[in-house]
Amino acid sequence: MVAVVPPARPRKLAKVPFVELADGRLQGVVSSGSDIERVYVSSVTAGDHAYHCSTNNNRPCGGLRGAPCKHLESLADEAVLQYGVDRVARYLRVDAGDGTQTGVELLSRLDARHEPTSAAVVFSRFLRHLAYLELPASTAVLPELHWFPSTGAGR
């Protein structure tokens, strides 16, 4: 399949279409590994390192079993690709230490705990982000938009 949106950086856009350091959180949207119709909203709070992962409909992620799930790991890895490990570590207020290079390694250094949060805020930021990406002249299908058959409000 041809990439429709040229990545500014070597990120896996199809897997993690949205990642940001905002609202005191590392947060973003991760596509399901098994179901193309489903996305997960994952976040880690800066400072107290509360994490959560759910579908965009607020269904808890089945991968959360006392530890960050693979979506959170993907999100952290992508954040490190996008922002660099130092910036992500500083934002989350975690001591990256020597030799920490990936988001997964960074996650393992958190004193993390699970705390449910609403996916709605992150998800609406993602939708706004997608709106910026829309290319007026493009007739190609954006894979990222497949998830939102019913969210064409106003656009």
Residue 143 binding Zn ion, by CB under 5 A = no
When the beta carbons of 44 and 53 are compared against Zn ion, the nearer one is 53
Residue 61 binding Zn ion, by CB under 5 A = yes
Residues 149, 155: Cα–Cα separation, whole Å:
12
Size of the site for Zn ion (CB under 5 A): 6
**Which of 16, 26, 41, 69 contacts Zn ion by CB under 5 A?**
69
Residue 53 binding Zn ion, by CB under 5 A = yes
92 within 8 A of 26, measured Cβ to Cβ: yes
Cα dihedral 54, 117, 16, 7 sign: positive
**Which of 49, 52, 71, 125 contacts Zn ion by CB under 5 A?**
71
Q: Which part of the chain contacts Zn ion (CB under 5 A), choosing from 19-27, 54-62, 83-91, 132-140?
A: 54-62
**Which of 38, 50, 63, 102 contacts Zn ion by CB under 5 A?**
63
CA distance to 42, 71, 99, 111, per residue, from 64 (Å): 11, 10, 27, 15
The residues in 14-43 that bind Zn ion, with binding defined as CB under 5 A, are 40
When the beta carbons of 38 and 90 are compared against Zn ion, the nearer one is 38
In 3D space, the residue among 50, 42, 46 whose CA is nearest the CA of residue 76 turns out to be 42
Tokens found for residue 27: 């947060």
Cβ of residue 54: shortest distance to Zn ion, in angstroms? 8
15 within 8 A of 30, measured Cβ to Cβ: yes
53 within 8 A of 40, measured Cβ to Cβ: yes
* Interacting residue ranges for Zn ion, rule: CB under 5 A: 40, 53, 61, 63, 69, 71
